[in-house]
Structure 1
Amino acid sequence: MKKIATLFFLTFTFTMIFGPVFPVLAAANVVIPDSLQELDLSNQLEVYVDENHLTDKEILRKSGEFVPLPALDPSGDISDTVYWLKVNLANPSGEKRNLLLEIKKPHLSSVTLYALKGNRLQEEETMGYRYPFDKRDYKHRNLVFSVNLEEKTTTTYFLKIETDSFFQAPVSLWDPIAFSEANYMNQSIHGIFYGIMLAMIVYNTFLFLSLKEKSYLYYILFVSGFTMMQAIWDGFAFQFIWGDFPWWALRSNSFFIIWTSLFALLFAKHFLQLKEHSPILHKVISFFNVMCALCLVLPFFVNIGTMTMISTLMATGFVLFLVGIAVTVRLKTREAKFYLTAWSLLFIGVLLNILAAFQLLPLTDFTLYAPKVGIVFEVLVLSLGLADRIKRIRKEKAYETKKYYVHTLLQHAVNRMTEMEDLTSLSKEGLHCLMDITHFEKGFYLTKERTRWKVLSKVNVTENLEDFYIDQFKSFQNGSSGILDASTFTVPVSSRSHTGCFVIWSSQEEVDLSIMESFLPAFIEQFSALVAQKEYLDELKKSARVDDLTNLLNRKYFLEKVNDMYTGAEPSSLLLIDIDHFKSINDRYGHLIGDEAIIFATDLIKKVFHEKGIVGRFGGEEFIVFLKNVEEHEALEWTHQLLDVFREEGLKLRDGTFIYLTISIGFCSSQPANLLSIDEMIQRADEQLYQAKRNGRDQVAVCS
């Protein structure tokens, strides 16, 4: 990773500062062939570095001090220096040759072409960024001079080059027709490149105006700066935009290098969410961005050479931060994958161009324009990554909105379920809540009683299909497929003593249940809490109306229930039952055995009257039984049956002995013709109970 990062740093920084690289071949004599199309002169040039700003006449005296350009290699120098290039062009043809001399670096400040005529230099033409574009004889983005060679002569040409930034001078000699053909091809390729870049800028501008997303703004400004920087390197900016403003043309390169670095890092910060994933790097880049923003005004005040050095430092810092981002974020997020892929494609394009320049790869149109291809792919991939991020943000927002709606719906459902008094209505309300969220059409709620599942509530399920659905649910529990039509969803619920399950289903083929992941835990928690609350309330109600020892209705609730059901329109009977000599049982065996005796008596009474009437504990060892809609003689038969049961069955103690209990019963009946109230019946039955005890116990006394 470190080696790749270092290589990326070197290659990309070089291209950021100098633009695409052009090859320099081995030295060779300059003889103009008859079939000339393009002849690279860079390896044939001789150079003299003029630090004293010599005159035309003085430079002729230094002719012997010129050295081959590849040997000196001043490319990349930045100083207040004049570079003199010299080349001898031999025309062996018997015809005059009109050729074109092209310098493929349009950003040079001033270039003057001299022809050696006799013992003096004759100025042919001067052009560069210091002069308006319209003054050029040959209107081209690069610096193109007309060269006229006489037949069978050798002419020496001098190029005086002044630059306020880095020195580079790849020089070629062209046949005019071949130059026009090559220029047409280059213009087409550049047209495609700038067309794509402009289209991406316009397209993403519309997206920004629509979405108001800050990342799009930084992306647009970054791509605009990058495109303008390419136009400066290619000479199109000077040719078509500010050709009449040489002052700005000389400063534009530094300005847009800083501009691109600034907004590329701003885009990276927001796109990759560095504040969250790498807080330290985020702070350092934020400081660097402030420095870039301040440096944007410097080109208007600082001299060009100094500004070039500053922009070089900024570009170096930018590339270092790119490496830092690559090492830090790696492939942690989807955004990081898009981001690293995009810059890797640009890096590959730059690397191919560098390798071709050093003859490690063949020089073809692809390797020559590989950086531009890399830039196009980088911009496209970043745009796709940005669109992917916005799409996911929208999905997340939609999901959060739906989540809020669902939880609001749950809250309303919980409020309604809180008002439900029994588990059946509670579970039905829960069914409606689940079906409203999932838009499922049918459902039921099952409760488990021991090993058997039972339908407690249902929605849109016919009664004759309940057993079928329960069987299907059991199959689902066992892991089989194809359950309950096309789409089925189950929600298990459990509390202390309750086990249940919601089963809902739909006939739709595709059902989106993604929201259930966030909804279900809250629903299950709330519903289980309500079930537990209902169970607790039921237990409280039960403890309020049921005797703890015998599980019979206590006196208060017994009287309330009997008074509610008794109308007097039907024959009814009431029994007061008392265990005989119960105090002696407590005294002899203890109160624990006494409690067992009461429970034993309860079981025997329930054995006889459980399905015939209402049984309650009246207090202490006394019990009360109410028989509704029962004739007196039938009630008396059951009463004598109860006496016989007590006589036949005994309470078995731990030592194996038995205690046989006897009971005394006071009996009273009420007929429609002789209507008595419940209180009157109790009063008369109580009187008869004492009569039975006075008569010797183990008997029933009947109110006449």
Structure 2
Amino acid sequence: MKKFAILLFITFAFTVLFGPNTLALTADKVVIPDSLQELDLSDQLDVYFDQNHLNAKQILSKTDEFIPLSTSNPSGDISDTVYWLRVNLENDSERQRNLLLEIKKPHLSSVTLYTLKNERLQKEETIGYRYPFDQRDYKHRNLVFSLDLQPNASTAYFMKIETDSFFQAPVSLWDPIAFSEANYMNQSIHGIFYGIMLAMILYNTFLFLSLKEKSYLYYILFVSGFTMMQAVWDGFAFQFIWGDFPWWALRSNSFFIIWTSLFALLFAKHFLQLREHAPRLHRVVTIFNQVCAISLVLPFFVNIGTMTMISTGMATIFVLFLIAIAWTVRLKTREARFYLTAWSLLFIGVLLNILAAYQLVPLTDLTLFAPKFGAVVEVLVLSLGLADRIKRMRKEKEYETKKYYVHTLLQNAVKQMADMDDLASLSKQGLHCLMDVTHFEKGFYLSKDEERWNVLSKVDVPEEMEDFLLEQYDSWKNGKNGILDGSTFTVPISSSTHSGQFVIWSTQEEVDLSIMESFLPAFIDQFTTLVVQKEDVEMLRKSAMHDHLTKLLNRKYFLKKANEIYEESDSASLLLIDIDHFKRINDTYGHLIGDRAIVFAADLIKRVFKKFGVVGRFGGEEFIVFLDKTGESQALDWANHLLEAFREEGLLLEDGRSIYLTVSIGFCSSQAFSYLTVDEMIQLADEQLYHAKRNGRDQVAAGS
């Protein structure tokens, strides 16, 4: 359906504009370079709009009224105006120059070339669609004049242009040899285009004769009309088919625009089954088709300029109908997407040509041949649609085989994961399973602890990259660019007490992950079930390790953890922290507020020190912090930072009041001694804690 919309748009596009016009003029002489290949005269032409149909003698009195063509912008104009173009060519060489002047739009009705000699215009040649093709001195589809430039002389040329359609006149000056070479290349491109279009017509004709499907007939007539319309615009129809019939040549453009619109819309109606999908739109389109069918006879009776406007208007309405059809009948099949894509590419080609015609983009070979490129690609894409269907059948078989393989792989992986003791080993086995299925090379598993993501396990990820990955992952989660080069795939895991994320990636830019649609739901379900089981076990273990009120490590597991760390460390610091006047808080506010004060103090201590060491509840209102690989000076800085935090932040009560706690801190560093055990460090810190309390509290005391 869109295929027609596009085609029609093509029809309309070319009908309206016949290609771009990028001409501009000054009255300066154009010096012919010695190494001339092609010279675009876009910036050298002047134009005069002749409303009175002056003759060659009268136009000389208007030379002061010529203006640069680029400032006049007559492109796309339909009127009874005669257009006079002027250019002054200077040959400053010692030899005569034989050159070619080409107007690259063959649709002009009449172009007469004059040479200014002895203050008079001398007629050289008249060519155009009004005259038989064989009358041309230079047999070419475009309008080409031979120029003889005398040595060391300048010659002024005038071109009188009459058109029954849109005015456009891109002019170039050529060396004859270069023109022949360029013409050979253009002919080759056109030959490929028309060869492919003819092959498409013949192929679909055979299909129609075999299947007797009406949609094929409409499609054949549509493509045939579009191909003839292109031949009219390119000048080949006049050169090779009806060059002896100028009357028909002038009317053929409008005829084939209406023809193409008619059969393109008929094809869209039948192929997309518009009667079933949009009956109201079907009735309106049918009426328009009847109008198009009647209008096919108009070019034989109506004025050519008027007919051009009518055909252009009908093509515009046709495009609007195609857009309405495409919007109403949105087919979802893969074949339909190929169909719409093919004609979308053709639409892009037409759009480029339209933009060039309105001088919004430069007129180049790309914009000039864009509709033809689009049409060729459209044919190839439709052919690829059939090949894609065969390929998909083969892929479906491969998919079923792969589906069986990955689900067998999942069953084996689940058995192995069930034997894992903790979430870290469980997630690592899950990573291996995902990577085996996707063939990705690296990956890691993130576990969310409160508001922070942490790397719980990884495969082929260096430890020094962990912070970087977390930073990039946060950026990616916020909708920014991908976290890593290549292809990235994430799998979220969520349970009542756990949030996690598998992140795997490959250095390959494009990876086929279609199998994951079948595999992933089962994987997530199985893995989440195992996570819940491990979490239940982990919660029991953590409940024995952590203080029930503050969620900090209790004394037993704190000492165990601190000793494990201290064995691998050559320096450490330890802090004993006690809430000042805690009994007063209990007596004043009650034990519930006292418990809240302990939790508040624990959270503040944990917030300050968690990144740097191990935090535990030592008993009652006392807390203990073990700082690994932390020198005395740095540890004291952090201790003082904690004091400031307590001074600045208070415990907010329900009545809006705040209780500001203070703490006393006893400090000990292993740097001050040759060797200390953790128990000895606690003893020394405890002594300093009493010093801090005796000296007024709300301070840190350190001793050597």
Report the TM-score when normalising by structure 2: 0.52
Q: CA deviation at 1:105?
A: 0.7
Over 3 Å counting, the alpha-carbon distance change for 1:114 and 1:363 in structure 2 is closer
2:106–2:141 Cα contact (<8 Å) kept = yes
Distance 2:367 2:52 in 1: 39
1:114–1:122 Cα contact (<8 Å) kept = yes
* Partner residue, 2:349: 349
Residues 689-700 of structure 1 aligned to structure 2 (within 5 Å): none
Over 3 Å counting, the alpha-carbon distance change for 1:308 and 1:271 in structure 2 is same
Residues 623-662 of structure 1 aligned to structure 2 (within 5 Å): none
* Partner residue, 1:197: 197
Q: Which amino acid aligns with 1:173?
A: L
2:160 is equivalent to residue 160 of structure 1: yes
Distance 1:134 1:337 in 2: 47
* Partner residue, 1:288: 288
Distance 1:198 1:8 in 2: 16
Q: CA deviation at 1:115?
A: 0.4
SS at 2:20 equivalent? coil
Distance 1:367 1:79 in 2: 26
Over 3 Å counting, the alpha-carbon distance change for 1:76 and 1:368 in structure 2 is closer
Distance 1:102 1:51 in 2: 25
Which has more radius of gyration?
1
1:216–1:386 Cα contact (<8 Å) kept = no
1:110–1:130 Cα contact (<8 Å) kept = yes
1:141–1:238 Cα contact (<8 Å) kept = yes
Q: Which amino acid aligns with 2:19?
A: P
Superposed CA offset, 1:109-146 (max 9, x none): 11000000111110000000111000100000000000
**Percentage of identical aligned residues:** 77
Q: Which amino acid aligns with 2:92?
A: P
1:42–1:169 Cα contact (<8 Å) kept = no
Residues 43-54 of structure 1 aligned to structure 2 (within 5 Å): 43-54=43-54
1:219–1:263 Cα contact (<8 Å) kept = yes
* Partner residue, 1:326: 326
* Partner residue, 2:316: 316
* Partner residue, 2:187: 187
1:129–1:246 Cα contact (<8 Å) kept = yes
User: Which has the higher mean CA deviation after the structures are superposed, 147-156 or 361-370?
Assistant: 361-370
Distance 2:66 2:22 in 1: 22
Over 3 Å counting, the alpha-carbon distance change for 1:87 and 1:343 in structure 2 is same
User: Which has the higher mean CA deviation after the structures are superposed, 27-36 or 338-347?
Assistant: 27-36
2:23–2:69 Cα contact (<8 Å) kept = no
Distance 2:234 2:62 in 1: 34
* Partner residue, 1:76: 76
Over 3 Å counting, the alpha-carbon distance change for 1:6 and 1:92 in structure 2 is farther
* Partner residue, 2:246: 246
Distance 2:321 2:122 in 1: 50
Distance 1:190 1:102 in 2: 18
* Partner residue, 1:533: none
Distance 2:176 2:301 in 1: 42
Distance 1:51 1:145 in 2: 25
2:20–2:168 Cα contact (<8 Å) kept = no
SS at 2:121 equivalent? strand
Q: CA deviation at 1:381?
A: 4.0
Q: CA deviation at 1:9?
A: 9.8
CA RMSD of aligned residues (A): 3.0
* Partner residue, 1:512: none
2:204 is equivalent to residue 218 of structure 1: no
Q: Which amino acid aligns with 1:243?
A: G
Distance 1:177 1:189 in 2: 19
Q: Which amino acid aligns with 2:369?
A: Y
Q: CA deviation at 1:11?
A: 8.3
1:271–1:386 Cα contact (<8 Å) kept = no
1:24–1:357 Cα contact (<8 Å) kept = no
* Partner residue, 1:234: 234
SS at 2:113 equivalent? strand
Over 3 Å counting, the alpha-carbon distance change for 1:297 and 1:335 in structure 2 is farther
* Partner residue, 1:59: 59
Q: Which amino acid aligns with 1:157?
A: Y
2:25–2:67 Cα contact (<8 Å) kept = no
Residues 470-489 of structure 1 aligned to structure 2 (within 5 Å): none
Q: CA deviation at 1:43?
A: 2.7
Over 3 Å counting, the alpha-carbon distance change for 1:222 and 1:384 in structure 2 is farther
2:103–2:142 Cα contact (<8 Å) kept = yes
1:9–1:320 Cα contact (<8 Å) kept = no
* Partner residue, 2:126: 126
Q: CA deviation at 1:10?
A: 8.6
2:7 is equivalent to residue 21 of structure 1: no
Distance 1:91 1:160 in 2: 23
Over 3 Å counting, the alpha-carbon distance change for 1:381 and 1:25 in structure 2 is farther
Q: CA deviation at 1:361?
A: 6.7
- RCO (CA 8 Å, sep 6+): is it higher in 1 or 2? 2
SS at 2:223 equivalent? helix
Superposed CA offset, 1:21-80 (max 9, x none): 354478786221111111111331111111111111111101111111011111111111
Distance 2:242 2:5 in 1: 36
Q: CA deviation at 1:279?
A: 1.6
2:252 is equivalent to residue 255 of structure 1: no
Over 3 Å counting, the alpha-carbon distance change for 1:132 and 1:358 in structure 2 is closer
Distance 1:259 1:63 in 2: 44
Over 3 Å counting, the alpha-carbon distance change for 1:44 and 1:9 in structure 2 is farther
Over 3 Å counting, the alpha-carbon distance change for 1:182 and 1:258 in structure 2 is same
Q: Which amino acid aligns with 2:166?
A: F
Superposed CA offset, 1:137-167 (max 9, x none): 0000000000111111111101001111111
Distance 1:274 1:63 in 2: 59
Q: Which amino acid aligns with 1:78?
A: I
1:25–1:42 Cα contact (<8 Å) kept = yes
Over 3 Å counting, the alpha-carbon distance change for 1:26 and 1:146 in structure 2 is closer
1:9–1:323 Cα contact (<8 Å) kept = no
Residues 422-501 of structure 1 aligned to structure 2 (within 5 Å): none
Distance 2:226 2:352 in 1: 20
Distance 2:89 2:374 in 1: 38
Over 3 Å counting, the alpha-carbon distance change for 1:116 and 1:367 in structure 2 is same
2:102–2:142 Cα contact (<8 Å) kept = yes
Distance 1:382 1:41 in 2: 41
Distance 1:35 1:342 in 2: 43
* Partner residue, 1:550: none
Over 3 Å counting, the alpha-carbon distance change for 1:238 and 1:83 in structure 2 is same
Q: CA deviation at 1:342?
A: 2.1
Distance 1:209 1:384 in 2: 23
Q: Which amino acid aligns with 2:325?
A: I
Over 3 Å counting, the alpha-carbon distance change for 1:6 and 1:71 in structure 2 is farther
Report the TM-score when normalising by structure 1: 0.52
Distance 1:226 1:253 in 2: 11
1:102–1:144 Cα contact (<8 Å) kept = yes
User: Which has the higher mean CA deviation after the structures are superposed, 195-204 or 352-361?
Assistant: 352-361
* Partner residue, 1:112: 112
SS at 1:138 equivalent? coil
Stretches of structure 2 that go unaligned for 5 or more consecutive residues are: 390-704
SS at 1:369 equivalent? helix
Over 3 Å counting, the alpha-carbon distance change for 1:52 and 1:87 in structure 2 is same
Q: Which amino acid aligns with 2:196?
A: I
SS at 1:35 equivalent? coil
Distance 1:18 1:241 in 2: 23
Q: CA deviation at 1:365?
A: 3.8
* Partner residue, 1:607: none
Distance 1:230 1:9 in 2: 12
SS at 2:207 equivalent? helix
Q: Which amino acid aligns with 1:250?
A: L
* Partner residue, 1:31: 31
Q: CA deviation at 1:310?
A: 0.7
Over 3 Å counting, the alpha-carbon distance change for 1:167 and 1:368 in structure 2 is closer
Q: Which amino acid aligns with 2:307?
A: M
Superposed CA offset, 1:461-502 (max 9, x none): xxxxxxxxxxxxxxxxxxxxxxxxxxxxxxxxxxxxxxxxxx
SS at 1:62 equivalent? helix
Distance 2:57 2:216 in 1: 58
1:258–1:314 Cα contact (<8 Å) kept = yes
* Partner residue, 2:623: none
SS at 2:165 equivalent? coil
Q: CA deviation at 1:19?
A: 2.8
